[in-house]
Amino acid sequence: MNQPRPATRSRRLARWVDDRLGTAYLATKALRKVFPDHWSFMLGELSLYSFVILVVTGVYLTFFFDPSQAESTYRGSYEAMRGVEMTAAYRSALELSFDVRAGLVMRQIHHWAALLFVATMAVHMARVFFTGAFRRPREINWMVGVTLLILAVFNGFAGYSLLDDQLSGTGLRIGYSIALSVPLVGTWLVSLLFGGEFPGPDIIERLYVIHILLVPAVIAALIGVHMAILLRQKHTQFAGPGRAEGNVVGERVWPTYAAKGLGLFFLTTAVLAALGGLAQINPIWIYGPFDPAEVSAASQPDWYMGWLDGAMRLIPPWEVRAFGYEVPNPFFPGAVLPGVTFALLYLWPFLEARFTGDRSEHHLLDRPRDRPVRTAMGVATIAFYGVLFLAGGGDVLSTTFGVSVNAVFQAFRVLLFVLPAASAWVAYRLCRDLAQRDPAPADDGSVAMTALAGVAEDGRDQDDRAGHDGPEAQGQAVGKHH
């Protein structure tokens, strides 16, 4: 009667793995972590889930996509392209859209997921920025995040450049002229990537390897680093009753937070499936195969490249000579602007620490209203890039509203500086008023001492920040067997 319960098969398997790898220690440690509960802390997960969907749908696409610039003729079921000469890359993308089972919905989900991958990253980044979560000791994770953003934008561009339709060719031509415009190394850069004069014989095959292997692998690895640093440093939290610099109050990862995460994953999948099934994206059969002789005026890149495109359209036709070299015009919007943008993003935590003189550790978040200067600068930045993005669609706006393109671009040149300034001023005033009406709650220092109890005053789960995860967690961690 007193026999131990027979171990189930899965338990035995788990123990077998654990005996050899000691995984239970790590797993329990991670699962027992307390994750603070504020809705905005789940935004980063949206990007993670979009990436998962990107990989799954992307793998499906690789089964059918042929990244080759060889001459080829379409003979599939889309009548308006039958018999037309094109590259194998474009032909296989057409076949994916019309002749491969579930090919089109996979393509569309993949592309929508790419748009949402970058968009949710931007939202997540805004959360981190406006709450000051990038401050010491989290500067490294902030920089990992900026790298992920750059990689995602670049991989999206590489992705839609593969299909060799008129839009991708137009985008690549701009990419080519930007690369070529870089002083000194431009020509070398271009021959490395394109293998010769535009369009070049090798570009699609090279981009393909970059797009499906290189960049996704680096992204996956960096997501791992991002999460590992997060686990190690523990999540920040907002100040409030029972919450202090020295503790983390919220829910344990297992089971509560994991269930929420799984639910969010399903919802992300549902939204992407709905978009992919109901809304057409990148209808390459309308754009036609890329023909270098054709220049279509009204072609836009995906939104996350739109700000660069807008800058290319707004820049006055400056000619600059430096050290005897002619610096080509695309260099400023195409290379200097993103260079400065990402350099400022990388450096922001350090710049801010320098300006405020605040170099201490922070685990409690700021309310945006309590940091009016930072908030105003963030709002101004969003306005600046928002105007650039809209300028990228200037000619679409001009036709839609029946205004002359030149007037639209002149207006955008003014807005580019006026709107950020105005919105910064409004944001600053709002912060001031809000903070006055509702002063910030202080660090609840009184509770820090109770951290080891594992339960916060309001009955929530709690960890301390000294590296201990509460008594149960320790107990489990020591005992390797159940």
**Residues making contact with ligand HEM (CB under 6 A):** 54-55, 58-59, 61-62, 65, 93, 96, 107, 110-111, 114, 117-118, 152, 155-156, 159-160, 162-163, 211-212, 216, 282
Report the 10 Å Cβ neighbour count for 133: 21
95 close to 254: Cβ distance less than 8 angstroms:
no
Name the DSSP class of 100. Answer: S
Residue count, binding to another protein (CB under 8 A): 84
Tell me which residues in 161-180 interact with another protein (CB under 8 A). Answer: 166-167
* Contacted entry of ligand HEM, another protein, none for residue 479, CB cut-off 5 to 8 Å set by kind: none
Tell me which residues in 382-421 interact with another protein (CB under 8 A). Answer: 389, 392-396, 398-399, 402-407
Q: Give whole-number Cα distances, 463 to 203, 241, 243, 364, 466, in Å.
A: 52, 15, 11, 14, 9
Min CB(259)–another protein separation in Å: 7
Tell me which residues in 32-51 interact with another protein (CB under 8 A). Answer: 37-43, 46
Min CB(386)–another protein separation in Å: 11
Report the 10 Å Cβ neighbour count for 131: 24
Name the DSSP class of 293. Answer: T
Strand duo 461-464 + 325-327: pairing: unpaired
Binding mask 81-110 for another protein (x = CB under 8 A): xxxx------------xx-----xx--x--
Q: Which residues contact 166 (CB under 8 A, 6 or more apart)?
A: 287, 288, 289, 290, 291, 294, 296, 299
Distance of alpha carbon 346 from its chain centroid, rounded? Answer: 15
Of 241-249, 299-307, 311-319, 350-358, the segment contacting another protein by CB under 8 A is 299-307
> Which of 14, 52, 55, 119 is close enough to bind another protein by CB under 8 A?
119
* Contacted entry of another protein, ligand HEM, none for residue 478, CB cut-off 5 to 8 Å set by kind: none
Rg of the chain (C-alpha set):
26
* Contacted entry of ligand HEM, another protein, none for residue 280, CB cut-off 5 to 8 Å set by kind: another protein
* Contacted entry of ligand HEM, another protein, none for residue 59, CB cut-off 5 to 8 Å set by kind: ligand HEM
* Contacted entry of another protein, ligand HEM, none for residue 265, CB cut-off 5 to 8 Å set by kind: none
Binding mask 305-344 for another protein (x = CB under 8 A): -x--------------------------------------
φ, ψ for residue 247 (rounded to 5)? Answer: -135, 175
Q: Does 301 bind another protein (CB under 8 A)?
A: yes
Q: Of the two residues 102 and 221, which places its CB atom closer to another protein in the complex?
A: 102
CA 315-317-323 angle, to 5 degrees, is: 105
- Residue 85's SS3 state is strand
Q: Does 257 bind another protein (CB under 8 A)?
A: yes
- Residue 132's SS3 state is coil
Of 20-28, 52-60, 252-260, 413-421, the segment contacting another protein by CB under 8 A is 252-260
- Residue 234's SS3 state is coil
Q: At what angle do helices 405-437 and 303-314 cross, to 10 degrees?
A: 120
Min CB(278)–ligand HEM separation in Å: 16
425 close to 442: Cβ distance less than 8 angstroms:
no
158 strand-pairing partners: none
